[in-house]
Amino acid sequence: GAGVSQSPSNKVTEKGKDVELRCDPISGHTALYWYRQSLGQGLEFLIYFQGNSAPDKSGLPSDRFSAERTGGSVSTLTIQRTQQEDSAVYLCASSPLLSAKNIQYFGAGTRLSVL
Amino acid sequence: SQQGEEDPQALSIQEGENATMNCSYKTSINNLQWYRQNSGRGLVHLILIRSNEREKHSGRLRVTLDTSKKSSSLLITASRAADTASYFCATDPSGNTPLVFGKGTRLSVIA
């Protein structure tokens, strides 16, 4: 079946504008993660959804960041009043969480540029 | 904060040589995973090693885990130009929580 799909692949916005990034996980995967990757850096955890449980928002860097996961499937990451330091690649991953093996399947990411 | 730290940050080798990358971490883990990221793409899972395992093989990949030293190594044998990518280790504290990624090793394999 299809892998994790993210849209848009690239987004250029002006400082102060809001942006929405979308993630379509693999069908049937119960867990969904958002990470941020700055140039040449590792992945920074942002938020985690698992089934119907309350999301783990501990990685969100500020209250300008929020995310939703509707119907246990598609997720949207929203960044309000974007700042230049928000420029990064935003990666989404999903996992079936089988046998406590948290193997994650990643989308290609959305490259966000804030001018 | 990032738990996994890869070493070296960058590695350049000739095709056919072996590439070894190391990862150190700080807290106890359920398992440790290695991922590859080609330029401009998402990460792809390579191999998972559980905390009670010491070595694991998959094709040209060999992973070792030393929980007493909180370290792991990834060996790619007989490297190919197509192995050029960034390699990340990721630790899983409990099996159903977010993975903690290191900053990665950028591997360049020169044909």
Using an 8 Å Cβ cutoff, are B37 and B44 in contact? Answer: yes
The residue behind tokens 């399947």 is A105
**What is the least distance, in Å, from the CA of A51 to any CA of chain B?**
12
CA distance to A88, B22, B48, B107, per residue, from B74 (Å): 27, 6, 11, 12
Find all residues with CB under 8 Å of A54, minimum gap 6, and list them.
none
Q: Which of residues 33-62 of B touch A (CB under 8 A)?
A: 33, 35, 40-45, 48
Examine the pLDDT at A53 and tell me if it is beyond 90: no
Residue A100 has what pLDDT? 63
Q: Which tens digit of pLDDT belongs to each residue from A73-108?
A: 999 999 999 999 999 999 999 998 766 678 899 999
Examine the pLDDT at B2 and tell me if it is beyond 50: no
- B30 in contact with A, Cβ within 8 Å: yes
Residue B95 has what pLDDT? 62
Residue of B nearest to A38 (CA): B103
Does B43 contact A48 at a Cβ distance shorter than 8 Å? no
Query: What does the alpha-carbon distance between residue A12 and residue A108 come to, in Å, rounded to a whole number?
Result: 17
Examine the pLDDT at A1 and tell me if it is beyond 60: no
Q: Provide, rounded to the nearest whole percent, the portion of chain B with pLDDT above 70.
A: 95
Does B42 contact A107 at a Cβ distance shorter than 8 Å? yes
- B83 in contact with A, Cβ within 8 Å: no
- Name the burial class of residue B43, with classes exposed (0-12), middle (13-18) and buried (19+) by CB atoms within 10 angstroms of its CB: buried
- B104 in contact with A, Cβ within 8 Å: yes
**H/E element, A37:** strand A31-37
